[in-house]
A and B are shown apart, each in its own frame.
Chain A
Amino acid sequence: KQEVTQIPAALSVPEGENLVLNCSFTDSAIYNLQWFRQDPGKGLTSLLLIQSSQREQTSGRLNASLDKSSGRSTLYIAASQPGDSATYLCAVRRPPSGSRLTFGEGTQLTVNP
């Protein structure tokens, strides 16, 4: 059974810092991995999607890496801003196509002005 762990559970940083959020998974036979952002009481916004054959994806100040063999992914946020404050969730999908996502517990990020 796939298990997904995110460390740290919570993180508080001053504005402008670069930071790294970690995600680990127990079964390396994944189809892809997706990072989401969730604001309090709201739905999920997709940030980055990494296919199992890829090593990283970038979007603006965000960079996600994937090391399938070690069962790890990191989300790097450059020059953090108060608007980045949210919960960040990683989710993995195993083959075959259409199978469900397994979510981590999330990292609650607070960026202080």
Chain B
Amino acid sequence: SAVISQKPSRDICQRGTSLTIQCQVDSQVTMMFWYRQQPGQSLTLIATANQGSEATYESGFVIDKFPISRPNLTFSTLTVSNMSPEDSSIYLCSVVQGAEERYTFGSGTRLTVV
């Protein structure tokens, strides 16, 4: 299965600032997914990023708050903009690969907004 490198692993940010999270995959993938996991909760899909097209956002998530780039088939970034303490979460990228369509996740970015 794919190996995903996600950076940074954690950060503490001031409210009102922005943070960009990077995901690098060791093989080409069509779709990349960005998830948020708020404290004590399960994962919620933010958006699906396809190379060469605009990301598709889930209900409750907007491009101005969570802009996504997907410049090629192995890389994507998620920016958390104008952060508030409510954005404190773990953010994860994910890909799906293979005939069995197995999901693989990055190691996560633990964000704390103060």
Residues of chain A having any CB pair with chain B under 8 Å: 31-32, 34, 36, 41-46, 49, 51, 89, 91, 93, 97-98, 100-101, 103-106
B42: chain A residues at CB < 8 Å are: 89, 103-106
- Mostly, the A contact residues are strand
Return the chain B residue nearest A106 by Cβ: B42
User: With an 8 A cutoff between CB atoms, is B90 at the interface?
Assistant: yes
Residues in B neighbouring A34, C-beta threshold 8 A: 102-103
Smallest CB gap from B107: residue in A: A43
Residue B41 is within 8 A (CB to CB) of chain A in the complex: yes
Instruction: Determine which of B31, B41, B105 lies in contact with A98 in the assembled complex, contact meaning CB atoms within 8 Å.
Output: B31
Residues of B within 8 A of A (CB): 1, 6, 10, 30-31, 33, 41-43, 45, 48, 90, 92, 94, 96, 100-108, 110
Task: Select one of B45, B101, B104 contacting A32, CB under 8 A.
Answer: B101
Are B48 and A103 in contact (CB-based, < 8 A)?
no
**Structural contact, B31 and A42, CB atoms closer than 8 A:** no
Q: Is the interface of B mostly helix, strand, loop or mixed?
A: strand
Q: What would 19 A/B residue contacts be, using CB atoms closer than 8 Å? A: A31-B101, A32-B101, A34-B102, A36-B105, A41-B10, A41-B110, A43-B92, A43-B108, A44-B43, A44-B105, A46-B105, A89-B43, A97-B101, A98-B96, A100-B45, A101-B43, A101-B103, A105-B41, A105-B42
Residues from chain B with Cβ under 8 Å of A97 in the complex:
101
Known: A46-B104, A49-B100. 15 other contacts (CB 8 A): A31-B101, A34-B102, A43-B6, A43-B92, A43-B107, A43-B108, A44-B43, A44-B105, A49-B102, A51-B100, A91-B43, A91-B103, A98-B31, A104-B42, A105-B42
